[in-house]
């Protein structure tokens, strides 16, 4: 995807335009864009990404859990029903999650349910940086983590997703 807007233009957007443009860089979390837009002007794309990352980092544990719970299961029910956000659809497709074998689908769905039962939120991994087998491996390996470790890892994966989504929208001047 080609970047649509320059950072200098981002700094000139009115509040509503900014919030609309960045409403889903953190999955289904419009509050992130509302808070980050107040930190303008941004020097460059990295500065903008850092503002979103700082927003995520400064959330309480309860707020981080809300962010994690907003993410869909990988190759889950929403994907099967075509109800993912545009961004999640493209990301899951780039990882090959729309072309799973029945065995892979069963493994991912079973592992997702096991993971959610243990941690209370979906398994999150930056799909654009992974393929099917590394996602399956991640699901199985990260199951052995503590809840605190998984909250931190999940938020770090959200940051990776966020940065990629921002760079799909904005480029430096």
Residues taking part in catalysis? 71
The predicted structure's pLDDT at residue 78: 84
Total structural domains within the chain = 2
Residue 24 sits in the same domain as residue 100: no
Residue 92 sits in the same domain as residue 135: yes
The predicted structure's pLDDT at residue 3: 60
The predicted structure's pLDDT at residue 2: 56
Residuewise pLDDT in 10s, the chain (173 residues)? 556 899 999 999 999 999 999 999 999 999 999 999 999 999 999 999 999 999 999 999 999 999 999 999 998 888 888 888 999 999 999 999 999 999 999 999 999 999 999 999 999 999 999 999 999 999 999 999 999 999 999 999 999 999 999 999 999 98
153 assigned to some structural domain: yes
21 assigned to some structural domain: yes
Residue 79 sits in the same domain as residue 151: yes
> Residue 126 sits in which domain range?
73-157
145 assigned to some structural domain: yes
Residue 50 sits in the same domain as residue 81: no
CATH number for position 27: 1.10.3330.10
Cβ-defined contacts of 102-107 (< 8 Å, 24+): 104/132, 104/136, 105/75, 107/136
84 assigned to some structural domain: yes
Number of Cβ within a 10 Å radius of residue 125:
21
Cβ atoms of 129 and 160 within 8 Å: the answer is yes
141 assigned to some structural domain: yes
Buried b or exposed e, range 30-42, using 16+ CB within 10 angstroms: eebbbbbbeebeb
Residue 94 sits in the same domain as residue 130: yes
43 assigned to some structural domain: yes
Residue 44 sits in the same domain as residue 108: no
Residue 147 sits in the same domain as residue 80: yes
First to last CA, the chain: 18
CA angle 151, 95, 18 (to 5 degrees): 65
Residue 77 sits in the same domain as residue 150: yes
Q: pTM (2 decimals)?
A: 0.95
Number of Cβ within a 10 Å radius of residue 6:
14
């Amino acid at each position: 995807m080609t970047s649509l807007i320059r950072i200098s233009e981002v700094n000139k957007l009115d509040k509503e335009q900014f919030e609309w443009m960045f409403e889903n860089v953190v999955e289904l979390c419009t509050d992130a864009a509302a808070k980050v837009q107040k930190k303008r002007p941004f020097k460059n794309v990295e500065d903008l990404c850092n503002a979103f990352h700082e927003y995520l980092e400064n959330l309480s544990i309860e707020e981080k859990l809300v962010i994690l719970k907003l993410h869909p299961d990988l190759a889950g029910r929403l994907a099967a029903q075509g109800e993912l956000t545009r961004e999640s659809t493209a990301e899951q497709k780039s990882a090959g999650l729309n072309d799973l074998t029945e065995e892979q689908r069963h493994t991912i769905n079973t592992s997702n349910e096991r993971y959610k039962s243990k941690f209370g939120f979906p398994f999150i991994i930056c799909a654009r940086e992974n393929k099917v087998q590394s996602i399956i491996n991640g699901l199985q390996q990260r199951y052995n983590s503590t809840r605190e470790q998984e909250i931190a890892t999940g938020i770090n994966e959200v940051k990776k997703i966020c940065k990629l989504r921002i760079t799909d929208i904005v480029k430096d001047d």
